[in-house]
């Protein structure tokens, strides 16, 4: 795939994650680090996932293989669930 263009979904998830860090930096950081570790152990090529870079706070490379992981490993789901819990 070509270099990713930031999509409205990516931007929304970025804003939600930033809001979570503003609300309680230590709590969300611990959850992000834990989830990050799970993803690394399950997906050796995790850096090929665009949303993994959002979660990691890193810059995606020139190309990426997927936008998000499937099912319970979905970063979109993780961010949305934490946001709903924190701001309900």
pLDDT tens-digit map of 5-45: 567 898 999 999 999 999 999 999 999 999 999 999 999 99
Name beta bridge partners: 49: 66
54: number of Cβ within 10 Å: 19
In a domain, 43, yes or no: yes
- Look at residue 2 in the predicted model and tell me its pLDDT: 42
Counting Cα atoms < 13 Å in the Cβ hemisphere of 6 gives 10
- Residue 57 region, left (φ>0) first, then alpha (ψ -120 to 50), else beta? left
Domain range for 52 is 8-86
In a domain, 22, yes or no: yes
In a domain, 66, yes or no: yes
Q: What is the helix (H) or strand (E) element at residue 25, kind and residue range? A: helix 25-42
Higher pLDDT, 65 or 14: 14
In a domain, 3, yes or no: no
In a domain, 1, yes or no: no
- Look at residue 64 in the predicted model and tell me its pLDDT: 75
In a domain, 2, yes or no: no
59 pLDDT more than 90? no
In a domain, 82, yes or no: yes
- How many distinct structural domains can be found in the chain? 1
């Amino acid at each position: 795939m070509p270099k990713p263009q930031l999509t409205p979904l990516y931007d929304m998830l970025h804003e939600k994650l930033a809001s979570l860090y503003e609300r309680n930096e230590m709590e969300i950081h611990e959850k992000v680090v834990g989830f990050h570790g799970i993803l690394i152990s399950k997906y050796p090529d995790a850096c090929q996932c665009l949303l993994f870079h959002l979660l990691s706070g890193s810059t995606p490379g020139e190309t990426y293989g997927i936008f998000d992981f499937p099912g319970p490993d979905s970063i979109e789901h993780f961010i949305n669930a934490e946001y709903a819990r924190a701001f309900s």
